Structures are given as structure tokens and as C-alpha cells.
Structure 1
Amino acid sequence: MRTAARGATLIVLGALVAPAPLTAFAYEPREPDRHHTPSIAPSAAPSTAPTATPSKLPSIVPSPSSPPSGEPGTAWSWEELSRQVQDTSPDDLQAADTATQAAAMLRCFKLETENYCLGLGFVDQIPTGAQLQETMSEPDVEADDESGVEQDIATGDLTPQSFVAERAGLPRSQRVDVELSEMEAAWAGREKARALRLLEVPAEGDAAADADPESGAAAGTPTPTPTVQPPRTPPTAQPPTTAPKPPPVRVVKPPKSSYIMKGFQTSQEKGYWCGPATFQSIDWADDKQKDTQASWGKDLGTTSSGTGIYAMVKQTNLKTNWDQAAGTYIVQSVKNWNAQKFFTVHQNHLGDGQPAPIIEHTQLLKRYFPYLAFNHSGHYQVGRGYDRAKGTIAIFEVFNERRFNSRGNVTDGPKNIPASALFNATLANPFQNIGL
């Protein structure tokens, strides 16, 4: 539920400090894209919001090259993107085979300089047909030869197969509305996606990891400057002879460790309610009101097949103020990341001046989460902190294995997971994405 707005914020990535060799731009508070309420449509104020006439980024020039045959061209406005979504959404697909449905439901678009695929989120590279079919394959749940571990209990994320089947089963008009809603959020978050794509993390031992003692920026790493409008010239004043310099970027220096949301852990009440339980925790920490998991299940569109990650992101933008701190939440693929970038992004998101939770989207396997007694399915968790010295990411685990299996362990509550393990658990999920 919305509380009072926390103030205008702007996303900028700043430099990461050195004890650990992780160097990156950190998020800086930014002007919110829009002020959400459950019953009010998004306003058309900021230029980055997906309105009927969103403005173009002044620093981007469309490419004159033609798109490959069969692919939509680059969208430089919301009107173009909206038209592309509608023009490429197919007619009735209920009788089509799975491969055809997947190709149609996981369509990709070019949002200025960024690629976004329905269901998958922002991607560095548009997947090939073979890669899309690989996404539709069942994940490997082998337990590294551990005897007695194999018990794949569904914990509640929506699998790619279920996502595709649900979208393909909708009447075209309804499906187009859902797709436009997803792409509207993507359009609003394209600047964040661009910043994440351009984030460079030096390898361990790289000289660029040494921090500049004055600025806190990594040596050899250019400091980004925001695109700003020049100040208005008073009517009686002469125009300036030189263009005004933009204000310097305030570098946000994440601390060595940071934790948020203490005391707001929850435990899912049904086997397929990891989405509602995770969102219950996120919203409870935001407005200090603990709404029921059943109510969130309804808002998230949760079924016995689970909850989709876009629904988690949408409700975070709509029903909480976390997007005021971190900017519009987006679905972001980590497929082409490495563990170092994954950890750096967590530090930037959770350790800047206005930290905000991350929607972790993992495959709940014992090899990555040793507190488990069994393997489970795709899953949501709350990313809530990190410790750079220990190389760990703090989460709220919402799944209590004992609750659903008398032979299981008590597994819910705060956990500290090696960053590499959480990254690999994210890659093990067929979607390979997170919400932030």
C-alpha cells in the first residue's frame, strides 16, 4: 500500500570502493518516474515515464540501418513501441505447438539502445530460436550424486512453460493489454537497464579497482554525468557564450556491508506462494503494514502454477515506494553477467544512500542452499543485504521446508549466501533474471 512519497530520486551508477576488487557505478537517487496509486493511471510528468507521448533521450540518435527481416525496428518513442507490440502479437495460438507459442510469447524489442524480451526482461543479446527453446526445457535438478535428495517440490515461481501457455491461452485483445503493460514498465526502466549494461567490473587484481582517494571513483574508470537540460536564460539576459557545464555526479560509495528490512521476514503459507510471501515481506518493510499473502496472491495473479516475475516487478512499482529509492523496478536478465557483476550490482542497489530490496529469482536446489534437505523448483527470495569481506548476499528465505514435508529442515528466515552460489542458483532457473 502506498505511503507518502519519499522524495524525488535519480538513478546514476557511482564507483565502488576497493577493499574487494569490485568497481562499479552505484545507484544514485533519482526523480521518480511516476507517482503510483492502485486506482490512478500513471501521470505524464517525467520524460522517462511510459506516457502517451514520452520524450526521447536527447543523447541518442536513431540508427539508419534497417532491422533484420522479421524483427521489429528500433523504437524511439512509446508510440512506436506500442505499435510494434500490437502489430507483432499473433492471433489465436491455443492450438499451436509449444515451439510456436514460445517464439510468439517471448518476442523481443529494441527500446532505443536496449533489448527487452517479453517474460525474460532486459537482455544484453537477443536470444536465438535455439536459446528460446532451451529456456523452455526443464532445469537440471541433479543433486551432485547426493543420495536421497531428489524431491522436486514446486515452491511457486511461474515456469517458462506455464508463462507461455498462460499468455498463449488469452484472447488476443486481452493478451495485447498484458503485453503493453509489461512493455510500458520496460520503457520506463530503460535508463536503468542501459546503466546496468554499461557497468564494467574490473577483474580481480585489475589496477582500475584502486579507488581515487578524492572522488571515491575507480582509477581509470570514467565518471558518468547525467543528461540535464541547460538552465533557462532570463528574458533580459544575454545568451551565454559557452554551454553551461552539467553538475558533477555525486559518487555513492557503498559500505563494506549493508542490511535492510530487519524483522520483516515472512514464511510462505502455501507450497506455491513464494511470490506472495516474498512480496508480503517487501511491502511490509515499505509501509509497515502486513497485508495477507492471500491478498497479494490475488494482486500478483498467482495460481497453482505460480507467480510471474513481471507481476512481482509491476506490483513493486505500483504498490510500494521502493521504486522512489531505486528507480523504476525492471526485469533484468543476468545470463551474460558474471558472479563479480552480480555481486557488484547487489552492493550498489542495497548499499547506496537509499537502499532497496532485490527480487531474487532462483532455482531452489540443495547444492546452492545447503540448509535444504531436498531440491525444489523455481523460487523467489528477498535480497536484503551483503557483506563484501565475506562475499555473501543476505536474503530472506520464505520457504520453510518442514512446513510442507515432515522430513524437511526448518529453512525459512534470514540467510547469508555466498554471492557466487546465489548467482549460480539464478542461472539455474530457466528465466535467468532478477527484479531490481
Structure 2
Amino acid sequence: MSRPRALVVAIGGLALLLALAPFVPRGGDDDGALQPSGDGTGKSQRVASSNAVGSSTVTPAMQTEIDRVVAAGRSAGRLGTRAGMARAAQLVRCAELDGQRYCLGVGWTEDTEADVRARVTSAARVAARTTGRTTTGDLDANAALARTARLSPKARAAADRAELEAAAKSVAKVWLLRHEILGEPLPADFLARHPEARAAAPAAKKATPTPAPTPIITPTPSTSATPVVAASTTPNTNASATATPAAAPPPAKTGRDYPKRDEILDPTHVAEQTRSYWCGPTSMQMIAWGWSGKAKSQDLWAKRLGTTSSGTGMTDMVRIVNENTGWDKPTYAGKYITLDVGGWTYKQWMLLMMRHISDYKAPVVLHPILRKRYYPYLDDDASGHFQVGRGYDKNGKKAALLGYFEPWNQQRFDPSEPRIERVQWRNAYKSYRANQDHFLHNLGV
């Protein structure tokens, strides 16, 4: 073959190879990969933010698991209030729902059922023998077990099923929240199983029309000392109609990406609890007030929460936030969940606070234990408690602060004790430790 002809064949082969290149499979191709919301367009499947996901479908597999857990509770029979601690602890049951674990009365957790049962039982024994402690209205482990034991098997089954089915509908949010904060990978088929977590495609940008050529303007010496720059008459070949490469996925947000300080909720929309065991109803009053701008009575919230003189449960707080406010909308926090954060670091916990306040503009249901080492305004150590998380301050080189509404005012129930203000800005790490020190170490987010 002559050299010119060989050259022509080689060039033709190269052109054909380049034309086919886009269709050749590549091991590193990201087509079909899960991408965070905000990535470039193309064939990649974009995942919504955890607050923006829709309700998950309760699949047949999840329903079978729920049936199993409900049946186990029903088989315990009628226990009554005098049931032994070990027998009552059987009521602490967990369901495996699409790769995540939910425990009744505890929330979404990474602990095993045995571990959860052990810590609830231990906390119940401590509560049963503790006397003289100030109680502000959190339902302690002993009271929670006794409340469940009093139910008839039929009523218990109905309550368990309602809680588990509501939890199952939020499982996609749990996956995404742990993915965003903890960096846990999503399953390869996550979007196939959870289409409700697929982000909406970004709106197509309208092409900017190419401007008409500008004629060359020749400067006149007598008009101005400032030279007039000649404009090119070459058409704009770099107009926005020309395709541009997709941007790289943005890095996950860290604490450095948030403002130095942020807060939500009107600081005048606050109240102190009017009964010593109404921290739950009062926190709910302030959360709902922040949403509607209207203050409803603590008595009303106590009835909706099922609060008794023993207190209020965290899962009831989350349920009522979802049923009675709009903070659960996708443009805010999405459906609230009860989340065990016992294994989270302070930085991860604080990042969740900043996301909720700065990104979601929605309050957090805080669930600490009130002890003087965490809250210096206390005159005495007290029980588990509810507060309304609503702000943070990085505070420069000093310790970061957490802003929250405090329903507890010890002076109302003992005039000899110092007054506690409703609007608090306190050491964020101590609030984290107070949350971790609670036997449930969970939050409403």
C-alpha cells in the first residue's frame, strides 16, 4: 500500500474511533450514579436533600416485619402495672425496615435490639429507685414501660402498628440524613427502591440570543481625549446556547460553610411551663406558635400529646409536630423523625443543628437531661427534659453557643430558687453532652 493511501486509511480509522468513543463503556463512567442534589445535568440520577424527600412506600417486606413486631407485643398479653421489669422490657422491640432499625418509643437507632432493651431496662431500674428528684415532664423509662404495660393487647397492637407504619414512611429520610451528616454510603439501588428521594431535574436555561454585531466606531479627535475602543464585528461564537461541561459535584457542607451565627423563631413567642411536668406541652406550644404566629394553650397541647403527670414521650412530640405544624413541609425540615444520635460526635451533632437552623429554617426538638454541670442556671439536678433548638453562634475563638427556648422556670415552683429565662444562648458542647447523657440520646429532627 502506498504511503499516501495508508495515511488516508489511518486518518479515517482514527475519525471513526473518535466518533464511537462516547458509546464505549468505561469503568469510571458516572452515568446512573447517585449524585447529590445540585450536580450537573446529564444521565446521572440526582438525590434530593433529606428534608425534601417524599413519603416512602410501606413495602410488603416492611409490612411483614411490622406484623412480626406487632405480634410479638400482642403475645406478651396483659401485663398490668405490676409486671416485673424483665417482662416489661419485652415491650422494647425493634423493626428492621429497609436496612434501618426503628425501636418503639426510642426512634431510629444503630444499636441492636438487645442493646436498646438493656439501656432502657437499666434506666427504668434507676428511675424506680430514685426519689426526691425534680421532674420537669420527660417520660422516664420506668413510666414509659408502665404506660405500655397498662394497655390491653389489642390497644398495644394498634399503637405499635401506627408508630411503626409512620416510621416506615420516613425511612428514605433516615438513609439520606445519615448519608449527608455521617457520610454513610447509599445502596446502589437506593433510587430504584425510593423514587421519592429523586431530586427534580433543574429547569433548562433559556439560550441567550447572540447579540447583533456592533459596528466599528472611529474616534473623532475633537470629541474626547478618551480613546474609543473599536468593537469587533465578529459574531459571538461563545454564546450561552453553546453547551458547557457539567460542573463537578459540590463537596458536602461542613461547619465552615455556614454563617457565623443564625437563628429562627420570634424570641417573644415564648412561655414557661405552668405545671412542673409540662415541658413537653410548653415546648410544643412554642414550636407551633413559631409556625402559626398564634399561641394555643398548654392544656390543649397536653391533651394532644397524651401528657400525664408522668410526662410526655419523645415519639409523641415528633408525631404532634408533624400533625399540627408546617415545619414538616419539604421546604422546611420535611417529616420529623425521632433519631438516636448516641454514636454521633459533637461536630456531627453541631452540623445537624446548623443544617436545621440555617438550611431548613426549622426548630429542633431537643431532649437533654437537666443537670447543673450542663446548665449552670439550675439550682438542682432534674430529670430528662424538652427544649426548642432555634439558633447557634460559632462565637469566634470561644466555645460555640446553642440558642434554644427553655420552658423550665424553677422559681415558679420554688420562689427561693433563681429565675430561669426563656431565651437561652449556652455552651453548645454542654448541650450535646446533656443530650448524650439522656438514656435515649435522641432528637426530633
TM-score w.r.t. length of structure 1? 0.69
- How many Å separate the matches in 2 of 1:409 and 1:249? 49
RMSD in angstroms over aligned alpha carbons?
Answer: 3.3
State the alpha-carbon separation in 2 of the partners of residues 371 and 151 from structure 1: 19
Q: Where does residue 3 of structure 1 map in the other structure?
A: none
CA distance in structure 1 between the partners assigned to 2:106 and 2:441 by the alignment? 8
Which of the numbers 339, 360, 374 marks the counterpart of 1:332? 339
Match of 1:174 in 2: 155
- Alignment partner, residue 388 of structure 2: 382
Matches within 5 A, 1:216-227: 227=197
Query: 2 CA distance for matches of 1:26 and 1:339?
Result: 25
Q: Which runs of 5+ in 2 are unaligned?
A: 1-34, 39-46, 184-189, 202-245
Aligned to 2:436: 427
Verify the 8 A CA contact 2:363 2:389 in the aligned structure 1: yes
Distance 2:418 2:125 in 1: 29
Q: Which has the higher contact order (CA 8 A, sep 6+)?
A: 1
Give the superposition deviation at 1:230.
10
- Name which of 251, 275, 289 aligns with 1:270: 275
Give the CA deviation at 1:84: 2.0
Alpha-carbon spacing, 1:178–1:412, altered in 2? closer, same or farther (3 Å): farther
Question: What's 1:239 paired with?
Answer: none
1:165 maps onto 2:165 in alignment: no
| 3-state SS, counterpart of residue 265 of structure 2 | coil
Checking the alignment, whether the CA contact within 8 Å between 1:363 and 1:376 is kept in structure 2 is: yes
User: 2:65 maps to what in 1?
Assistant: 81
Out of 104, 113, 124, the residue aligned to residue 110 of structure 2 is 124
Aligned to 1:396: 405
Distance 1:13 1:255 in 2: 22
Q: Which secondary structure state, in structure 1, belongs to the residue aligned with residue 262 of structure 2? A: strand
Runs of 4+ residues deviating >6 angstroms: 12-15, 139-142, 247-252
Aligned partner of residue 420 in structure 1, secondary structure: helix
1:98 aligns with 2:85: yes
Cα distance change of structure 1 residues 331 and 316 upon mapping to structure 2, 3 Å threshold: same
**Shift in alpha-carbon separation, 1:423–1:410, aligned structure 2, 3 A:** same
Counterpart of 2:213 in structure 1 is none
Which position in structure 2 is the counterpart of 1:357? 363
Measure how far apart 1:333 and its partner are: 0.8
Counterpart position of 2:52: 30
Q: CA deviation at 1:55?
A: 5.8
Shift of 1:277: 0.3
Larger Rg over CA atoms? 2
Contact kept? 1:334, 1:432, Cα under 8 Å:
yes
Q: Which has the larger displacement, 271-280 or 338-347?
A: 338-347
Retained in 2: the 8 A contact 1:300–1:315?
A: yes
| SS of residue in 1 equivalent to 2:426 | strand
- Give me the identity figure in percent: 30
How far apart are residue 334 of structure 1 and its match?
Answer: 1.6
Question: Larger deviation: 277-286 or 414-423?
Answer: 414-423
Does 2:100 match 1:114?
A: yes
Alignment coverage as a number of residue pairs: 335
Name 1:71's counterpart in structure 2. Answer: none
SS in 1 for 2:339: strand
Q: Secondary structure at the match of 1:409?
A: coil
Secondary structure at the residue paired with 1:327?
Answer: coil
Q: Of the candidates 358, 362, 372, which is equivalent to residue 366 of structure 1? A: 372
Q: Which residue of 2 aligns with 1:407?
A: 416
Is the 1:26–1:348 Cα contact (8 Å) retained in structure 2? no
- The question of whether the paired residues in 1 share the 8 Å contact of 2:120 and 2:141 is answered with no
Aligned partners of 1:321 and 1:391: how far apart in 2?
Answer: 29
Q: Which amino acid aligns with 2:366?
A: E
2:298 is the counterpart of 1:289: no
Please state how far the C-alpha of 1:32 moved relative to its aligned partner: 5.0
Report the CA distance between 1:86 and its aligned residue. 2.4
Q: Which of 136, 155, 160 is residue 124 of structure 2 equivalent to?
A: 136
Indicate if the aligned counterparts of 2:50 and 2:176 stay in contact, CA closer than 8 A: no
SS in 2 for 1:281: helix
Deviation at 1:130, TM superposition (A): 3.4
Deviations 1:170-202 (A, max 9, x none): 001111111112112211221222233334569
Say whether the 8 Å CA contact 1:156–1:275 is kept in structure 2.
yes
> Given the superposition, is the C-alpha separation of residues 230 and 159 from structure 1 closer, same or farther in structure 2, using an over 3 Å criterion?
closer
What is the distance in 1 between the residues matched to 2:151 and 2:129? 31
SS of the counterpart of 1:394?
strand
Contact 1:363–1:429 at 8 Å: present in 2 too?
yes
Q: Please say if residues 151 and 376 of structure 1, whose CA atoms lie closer than 8 Å, have aligned partners that are also in contact.
A: no
CA distance 1:388–1:430, shift in 2 (3 Å): same
Letter of the 1:379 partner, please give it.
H
Cα shift readout 1:36-61 (whole Å, capped 9, x = no counterpart): xxxxxxxxxxxx1xxxxx265xxxxx
Give distance in 1, aligned partners of 2:274 and 2:340.
29
Does the CA contact (< 8 Å) of 1:91 and 1:172 recur in 2? yes
